Amino acid sequence: MKQFFPEDRYDTPPDTPLFLGTHLFGWTRWNLYFRFFRIVLRSRAMAVRSVYDDQALAEQSYLIIKAVEGCGGKFHIRGFHHIRETEGPVVFVANHMSTLETTIFPALITPIKSTSFVVKDTLVRGPVFGPVMRSLDPIAVTRKDPRKDLTDVLEQGVRILEKGRSIVIFPQSTRSYEFDPARFNTLGIKLASRAHVPIIPVAIKTDFWSNGVILRGFGKLNREEPIHIEFGPPVSLTGRGKEEHRKIIEFISNRLREWGVPVIPRQEQE
């Protein structure tokens, strides 16, 4: 499969052309969302016809990246070598800030490692995103019954990892512009430990794409905010994973602080 980002890092070229009308007041947002939903509907049609495979997933995800850049988004992505140099499937754990990361991760990861996601069950059942999500063999959780969610993630996750597919987990219960380590649960740790695979932590800053009031995942675009994504070194688990969880949180917290994202200090959690 073609890798869209063959180097270890990627930065949006400064001379990237913008779509017509991008500078008009209020137009940038709808310019991007029109293109986004056109890509989603095309993906849905492919999924309904059962022709939506990893190749198609990665290609459509890459088109979303290009659409974001055409509307003024500036990407700064680091650490691709950590994915390439880690053998076998892994569990990716990342903080969760907006809709953007869920839509562009396939273009970044899937050409290197076939990937599934842990997602809310409402996405799987939805009429628009549902067919697309179901084609990815996701793990659907309710976030209403933590015990059942844990059982589903561990049982289904191990089966997926044993097939050689990696899994992306956002351990936070919801999207947030600040990072609260106390709300970053150990679900990824538990799954990686059960499946005997390493974890690759991912720090993200995607507040270019804000959360909306009426449509939760589709708010205004903040063109002055750069988009940062960094894949960290793989973490192998020993014992109960307490120290590894601390390292993952430390990696994400440090990167977010460098990018100007608020991180709740440890003493405020106690």
Cα dist from 209 to 69, 137, 206, 216, 242, whole Å: 12, 26, 6, 11, 33
Per CATH, which fold does 21-258 belong to? Answer: Glycerol-3-phosphate (1)-acyltransferase (3.40.1130)
Cα dist from 260 to 6, 32, 179, 254, 257, whole Å: 28, 25, 11, 10, 5
Kindly tell me if the per-residue pLDDT of 121 is higher than 90: no
Find out whether 44 and 8 touch, Cβ atoms under 8 Å.
Answer: no
Can you list the alpha helix ranges (DSSP code H) found in the chain? 27-48, 54-70, 80-85, 99-109, 121-125, 130-134, 146-162, 187-195, 242-258
Q: What is the pLDDT of residue 266?
A: 66
Q: Give tens-digit pLDDT for 160-173.
A: 999 999 999 999 87
Retrieve residue 239's tokens: 């014992």
Closest CA to 36 of 219, 205, 203, 202: 219
Q: What is the pLDDT of residue 255?
A: 98
Q: What is the pLDDT of residue 23?
A: 60
Share of the chain above pLDDT 90, in %: 69
Q: State the pLDDT confidence band at 270, using cuts at 50, 70 and 90.
A: very low
Cα dist from 99 to 87, 217, 221, 247, whole Å: 29, 6, 12, 26
Can you give the residue ranges of every domain in the chain?
Answer: 21-258
Amino acid at 204: I
Neighbours of 240 (CB within 10 A): 12
- Dist. CA 200–CA 93, nearest whole Å: 6
DSSP percent split of the chain into helix, strand, coil, nearest 5: 45, 15, 40
Q: What is the pLDDT of residue 124?
A: 87
Mean pLDDT of 211-234: 84
Kindly tell me if the per-residue pLDDT of 79 is higher than 60: yes
Kindly tell me if the per-residue pLDDT of 94 is higher than 60: yes
- Dist. CA 48–CA 14, nearest whole Å: 38
Which phi-psi region, left, alpha or beta, contains residue 196 (left: φ > 0; alpha: ψ -120 to 50)? left
Mean pLDDT of 15-28: 70
